[in-house]
Amino acid sequence: MKSKFRIKKNTKYKRPVFRLEPFLRTEKSTCNTTALFDCGKRTGTLLYSVLIAVTAISFVFAMLNLFFRLHPRNLVVGLVELTTTVLTLITILYFRKTNNIKVTSTITVLLLTTTLFIFLVLSRGDNYALYWICVYPPVVYFLFERKKANLFVGLFCLYVFALMITQLFIQVNISSIINIAGATAGLTFVIRYFETAKTDAINALEEKNEELEKLIVTDHLTGIYNRLKLDDVLNFELNKALADTYTFSIIVADIDNFKRINDIFGHLTGDSVLIDVANILKNSCRKTDIVGRWGGEEFIIICTQTDKAKAKQLCEKLIRVISEHEYTINERITMSFGVTEFLNGDSVDSLIMRADKALYSAKDKGKCLVEAF
């Protein structure tokens, strides 16, 4: 029985962007939500913005304090701000060279924290210096994950309140403390709310994306891999074998006398048999085997890192399990198998054709058999 399904000749393979790793039965999505909600790009843009802003602001204030506000305390503040300018420039160069968002985020927050710590102490609240604490929570919550951001913002607020309580700031009283505490708490609450909303949105997108990827590569009737996934894995395995001393085998399996089952019991019963057979194949194969429905009553099993002899042994096991299973139609169901192994110079077409010939040979010899070519 000749298969109606064929792959176009593999001239130049381009792996689909949604390809799942073929070696695991339950895969983790490789096409994550970054493609839909590019968090890395957004965080990188924010990092650049923060670093450039800190560089520009610290440089302007450094120039003001060093050359225009001629006071010993202002000179110290100016030196701190000039140091911040240099360090942020170094951080920008590091980020441009490595593109390491995690490390750069940590350096940025630590740099901002240290600078504000020193600045608040040296300025002693002059010229509304305390207003700069409003910058801290948004930056930290956008650059850090929630738990770490809570820790940094909490410690920073405790530091600021400790400065006020110990009266290091000029003209600070109970009303000032209440106003500053209330405004800071309100700002932190709003930032946390939007950060939580963003995280929930990303998680929802990830879940939907994983569901979509699963639907793309899953046969809607049997729940195992579909033709699209099998095409992908076949090309992947073939390219791997062509590039290295690596081999794999494929098995083409066909339910014997399936047309008779449909004619006598109906197509719904035939669908039930397909589902049962698919589950048996999936549960009886090894974890490294890729099982999928090729079309109709035909299935393909891709045996990674497996030669023809071991693939044939697997088929003999499957013949026994399938024929001994009790089906709803109370009839014996059998399958025939064709096996082939990768040979040098093979294409996907040649592999499938050789496995098909082995399957036809098994059918001609009486069915419920396995043949290997």
- Which residues are tagged catalytic? 297
Nearest to 139 by CA among 102, 100, 112, 168: 112
3-state helix, strand, coil in the chain (%, to 5): 65, 10, 25
| Alpha-carbon distance values, 68 to 58, 250, 264 (Å) | 15, 80, 98
Strands 370-372 and 289-295: unpaired
| Structural contact between residues 292 and 226, judged by C-beta atoms closer than 8 angstroms | yes
**Any alpha helices (H) in 225-292, and if so which ranges?**
227-243, 258-265, 267-284
CA distance 196 to 150: 12
| Alpha-carbon distance values, 226 to 21, 45, 58, 98, 300 (Å) | 15, 40, 59, 40, 10
